[in-house]
Amino acid sequence: DQQVKQNSPSLSVQEGRISILNCDYTNSMFDYFLWYKKYPAEGPTFLISISSIKDKNEDGRFTVFLNKSAKHLSLHIVPSQPGDSAVYFCAASSKAAGNKLTFGGGTRVLVKP
């Protein structure tokens, strides 16, 4: 069973507008959440993270929101740029399970100029 799910396989957005990516999880033991970005033929690169004790973390154009009661997190990218076109993975980890990351299936984002 998938413990981390990204229900939207793809997203298309106009340059300058906001991109919103969603992620749901089922394991209540998860206490740290991350977003990774992946370009073709490259490994995932770390983008932003959030601890379960927070509900928001912002880094430049990227903001992650966490709703623990709903077991839901989202990534907002504003304004979106063509270079943001990539596959975005949501990931989660827990102190109890050590450092291993559990990933969602990814959302492919296309930013149109």
Partner 1 sequence: GAGVSQTPSNKVTEKGKYVELRCDPISGHTALYWYRQSLGQGPEFLIYFQGTGAADDSGLPNDRFFAVRPEGSVSTLKIQRTERGDSAVYLCASSKGTGGVTDTQYFGPGTRLTVL
Which residues of the chain form contacts with partner 1 (CB under 8 A)? 4, 6, 31-32, 36, 41-46, 49, 51, 89, 91, 93-95, 98-106
Establish whether the linkage from the previous residue to 79 is cis, with ω within 30° of 0: yes
Distance CA 14, CA 32 (A): 31
By beta-carbon proximity to partner 1, the closer residue of 51 and 67 is 51
State the minimum distance, in angstroms, from the CB of residue 86 to partner 1.
13
Q: What minimum distance in Å lies between the beta carbon of 16 and partner 1?
A: 29
Task: Report the candidate in 81, 79, 85, 80 with the shortest Cα–Cα distance to residue 107.
Answer: 85
